[in-house]
Structure 1
Amino acid sequence: MITVNSKLNGLNIFFNKLQKEIGGTLNVTPKEQFLEIDNKIGTGTIRSISLEDDISVLEFNITVNQDLQIDIDSNAGSHVNFIYCSKGKISQSFQNNTTTNTIETFQTSIISNIVSKKNTVTVFKGIETNTTIISVNTETKKGATSEINKALKTAFISNKKEDYIYLGSYNLKIAENIKQLKAIKNEGVVKALLTKGIVNLILGLEIEQHGKDISTTETPTTSLTKSEMELIKDLTEYVNNYPDMDHKINTLTRKIGLTAAKVQEGFKLMHGLTVCEYIRSVRLYKSEELIINTDLSISEIVYSLGFSSRSYFSKRFREKYNCSPRDYKKKSRLAISA
């Protein structure tokens, strides 16, 4: 087992210690640290992002050949940590506590150190692990604590006498938003704004799931197993990658071996849409990209994305963007020329 002991709110020190223990190439910018490893210890990347309001994001996308234990020093009663695994699983424990908590794939979790000053997270050997930890410091040194920080302190720290951990239900929407967070290619202020927006959305989904879980005694919230959720996630990526294909529900169900009812349940859980609604949404999003970034005619776009007719496409496009495709194309051209 490899053990790294550091402070999560001192990310430069944390990454320097991490690199010393597991090797790899470390790239540092004012707001990000990025460690890439490909050695006998394992392969993958570990990234951190520092945001406004004393919010930090730590991403593990790695497979290690021996357990990686990370001991994180934390001031008691200050940080609220949201941990989510898009793939694989990790364990968590508090200092001087023999209880080990396992956070499974797609499971929501919220952790606050109330009395202990150390949090231990373990990445297991031989398991591809995609884990995101969002840490919110509710006691900023700047004297201008935001409403988010205050609300989180009230909900998950104030009036608590012992270390707090909430292991919640499974949530596929968070996995989709984490995928979007990792896919951001922009730089500068655009990247900062997109990152902040998605991280706030993930926090909102975590807190929303927590509220749902504590307000109901019904379990589970879905009949889908974790392996079935993985299949729904894979099917979503398939639709995203091939929006032009004729995606009929019976073809999609055969592809992953689930019933139509389970596929519909999975898409409603992950996207809040039926399968057909989601396919249409993906095609409309792609059509907007093509209108802005290519010289394809509207008719060419319609048939390249599998819409049944130009009139149907125009109707759906207007519903989504409150503008006809032709007018949208004209306005985008004017914006570019300006």
Structure 2
Amino acid sequence: MTEIVIDAKNTEGTVKQLRVALRGAIEERWGEHTLTMDNDLAKGTIRFITFDWGVNLLEYDITFFDDICLIMDASEFNPIHFTYCLEGHCGHRFGYQSEPDIKTLEQFQSVIITCKDGGYNYWYFPANKKLEINVIQITRRHFLKRRLSNLDALNKRLYEVFLDTDHENTFAYFGAYNLKLANKIGALRKIKSKGMIRMMMIEGMIYEILSLHILQHDKAVKNKAPKTSLLHSELKIVRKLAKRIANDVSQDYSLEQLSLESGLSQAKLQEGFKSIYKRTVTEYIRHTRLEVARDLIRTTDLNISQIVYTIGFSSRSYFSKIFKNKYGITPSEFQENALITVEA
């Protein structure tokens, strides 16, 4: 196992120390720093963005070739970590524990952690496993000064964590699987815009991701966490099906066909889609097709009939009806407005 000790005062210093330990190179563009490694220790990237409201984004997209123990000294830099494993898993323990009790951060699990002043966070990353980890770090004193005005909106336990600007206490919350976070974090990673627009889009999505973490913790405290009988592996199958549908909406999907292909019963498929997407399978397919149609109208020269065929519908009148029900405007009216906007 390779041990890396980090005693930096901020996220930038953390990544710079990782650069030395992992023999990587850092590039900066519009305030977005990316550490890239391709050697016998690791292959992939770690990127970070620091915002002026006390929040940092840290994202791992990496494979380590040895087990890594990242030992982080909380004396100088001790944020609240809102962590999510989009792919893979990792481990964590606090350094003050006499007996190591490593807790696993599973894929799709919402985790909130903070250490006490002078303590240590031990993070464990397995070898030869693709890791996609999203971490939102909040420096409490700065965050409270710049952004948070209504602490009463938080439940008591999280309220105390945000208010603990002297870092006297530890906090660890390992939540249930949350695939809404997977979808939102996946969308964050796919942002293609550049420059200032990119940074604004990223900042907005960080707000949403942070809100989902806090909302899940709040529901868990109030015992209102969504319940599902599906296993973690079954939820992964549902999410994989949903991604397949979104990537190819033209196919003639049916509940029976998806059930046969996935090995999940129709009842489990319905439960999974309702749990993750708040829609039945049919509603999800229709919703996704309409979103694709909207984007095609806005970004291509295809006419409405061509778009109807492209997204897997056979009736233009039916498509126009459900499009207007969803967006409050007919496809033709939307297309005319899109053309006017482009010409302007």
Superposition TM-score, scaled by structure 1 size: 0.91
Distance 1:120 1:101, change over 3 A: same
Report the residue type matching 1:17 in the other structure.
Q
Q: Tell me how far apart the structure 1 counterparts of residues 194 and 254 of structure 2 sit (CA, whole Å).
A: 38
Q: Tell me how far apart the structure 2 counterparts of residues 149 and 253 of structure 1 sit (CA, whole Å).
A: 45
Q: Tell me how far apart the structure 2 counterparts of residues 78 and 21 of structure 1 sit (CA, whole Å).
A: 21
Matches within 5 A, 1:1-338: 1-6=1-6, 10-75=10-75, 79-97=79-97, 98-140=100-142, 143-147=145-149, 154-158=159-163, 162-216=169-223, 221-338=227-344
Deviation at residue 290 of structure 1 after TM alignment = 0.9
Matched pairs, number: 337
Deviation at residue 186 of structure 1 after TM alignment = 0.4
Deviation at residue 148 of structure 1 after TM alignment = 7.3
Deviation at residue 9 of structure 1 after TM alignment = 5.8
Deviation at residue 157 of structure 1 after TM alignment = 4.3
Deviation at residue 52 of structure 1 after TM alignment = 4.1
Deviation at residue 209 of structure 1 after TM alignment = 1.2
Q: Tell me how far apart the structure 1 counterparts of residues 162 and 205 of structure 2 sit (CA, whole Å).
A: 24
Whether the aligned pair in 2 keeps the contact of 1:95 and 1:116 (CA below 8 Å) is: no
Q: Which moved more, 1:101-110 or 1:221-230?
A: 221-230
Distance 1:5 1:32, change over 3 A: farther
Deviation at residue 118 of structure 1 after TM alignment = 2.6
Distance 1:99 1:216, change over 3 A: same
Distance 1:143 1:227, change over 3 A: closer
Whether the aligned pair in 1 keeps the contact of 2:57 and 2:136 (CA below 8 Å) is: yes
Q: Tell me how far apart the structure 1 counterparts of residues 173 and 247 of structure 2 sit (CA, whole Å).
A: 35
Q: Tell me how far apart the structure 2 counterparts of residues 257 and 275 of structure 1 sit (CA, whole Å).
A: 15
CA deviations on 1:81-122 (whole Å, 9 max, x unpaired) are 111111211111222223222111111111122344332212
Q: Tell me how far apart the structure 2 counterparts of residues 141 and 197 of structure 1 sit (CA, whole Å).
A: 16
Q: Tell me how far apart the structure 2 counterparts of residues 21 and 29 of structure 1 sit (CA, whole Å).
A: 23
Deviation at residue 7 of structure 1 after TM alignment = 5.4
3-state DSSP class of the match of 1:147? coil
Report the residue type matching 1:108 in the other structure.
S
Whether the aligned pair in 2 keeps the contact of 1:36 and 1:45 (CA below 8 Å) is: yes
3-state DSSP class of the match of 2:317? helix
Q: Tell me how far apart the structure 2 counterparts of residues 321 and 267 of structure 1 sit (CA, whole Å).
A: 22
Gaps of 5+ in 2: none
Superposition TM-score, scaled by structure 2 size: 0.89
Whether the aligned pair in 2 keeps the contact of 1:45 and 1:61 (CA below 8 Å) is: yes
Distance 1:84 1:148, change over 3 A: farther
Q: Tell me how far apart the structure 2 counterparts of residues 7 and 177 of structure 1 sit (CA, whole Å).
A: 31
Deviation at residue 15 of structure 1 after TM alignment = 2.0
Whether the aligned pair in 1 keeps the contact of 2:12 and 2:48 (CA below 8 Å) is: no
Whether the aligned pair in 2 keeps the contact of 1:114 and 1:163 (CA below 8 Å) is: yes
Q: Tell me how far apart the structure 2 counterparts of residues 132 and 173 of structure 1 sit (CA, whole Å).
A: 14
Whether the aligned pair in 2 keeps the contact of 1:107 and 1:169 (CA below 8 Å) is: yes
3-state DSSP class of the match of 1:83? strand
Deviation at residue 171 of structure 1 after TM alignment = 0.8
Q: Tell me how far apart the structure 2 counterparts of residues 318 and 165 of structure 1 sit (CA, whole Å).
A: 46
Q: Tell me how far apart the structure 1 counterparts of residues 143 and 5 of structure 2 sit (CA, whole Å).
A: 23
Deviation at residue 150 of structure 1 after TM alignment = 8.8
Distance 1:263 1:18, change over 3 A: same
Q: Tell me how far apart the structure 2 counterparts of residues 77 and 12 of structure 1 sit (CA, whole Å).
A: 11
Distance 1:7 1:194, change over 3 A: farther
What CA RMSD, in Å, does the superposition of the two structures yield over aligned residues? 2.5
Deviation at residue 8 of structure 1 after TM alignment = 6.8
Gaps of 5+ in 1: none
Report the residue type matching 1:63 in the other structure.
T
Identity %: 31
Deviation at residue 145 of structure 1 after TM alignment = 4.3
CA deviations on 1:126-184 (whole Å, 9 max, x unpaired) are 22221111111111189434337896772424479631101111111100111000000
Deviation at residue 213 of structure 1 after TM alignment = 1.4
Q: Tell me how far apart the structure 2 counterparts of residues 270 and 141 of structure 1 sit (CA, whole Å).
A: 31
